[in-house]
Amino acid sequence: MQQDMREEADRRFQEALEHSGVRDPRELCRESLRELKGTDPSGYDRAVNHFQTVLVPSIASGRVEPLQAWREYGCLLAEAVTAGRTVAIDDTGRAHPYQPDSPMEWLVLHLPEKKAARALVVSLPVKPSRAQKATFELLVKGGQRLPEK
């Protein structure tokens, strides 16, 4: 991957991040990559290849909105970690099928097909609603109590 392309993609991403006020999705992606590296090395290699050949060039060229592109990459990583479906949780707690243009303020979770497996976080809003916090506690952390206000 060319260094200039990577720098341009990073610049566009940082600019979009600063103007949006949304949470940086890269740490969630790094967590999924670490898990893949340990459990599925070939899946990890495919994810890194996608990063280098699809994600970075598409952001650097301006063909895609950087934050949505990273969220899509997060969905790809979650599916590589475990089969399942991805949903977007609005501020009322209602689940919707995930769409690339789902609002950035929605909580995005990947729900594994495996019984009793915890949901994987794809995207977190900066200020989750009470309903989104409760959904996160139940599906990601496995908690049984409502979170404090």
How would residue 2 be classed by pLDDT, with cut points 50, 70 and 90? confident
Q: What is the pLDDT of residues 94-107, one digit of tens each?
A: 999 999 999 999 99
Give me the DSSP letters along 54-94. IIHHHHHHTSS-HHHHHHHHHHHHHHHHS-EEEEEE-TTS-
- For residue 14, the number of C-alpha atoms closer than 13 Å in the C-beta half-sphere is 6
Q: Quick check: pTM over 0.85?
A: yes
| Chain mean pLDDT for the chain | 93
Average pLDDT over residues 3-32: 93
Give the strand order in the sheet containing 84-89: 95-97, 84-89, 107-112, 120-123
| Predicted local confidence at residue 147, as pLDDT | 56
Q: What percentage of the chain has pLDDT greater than the value 70?
A: 95
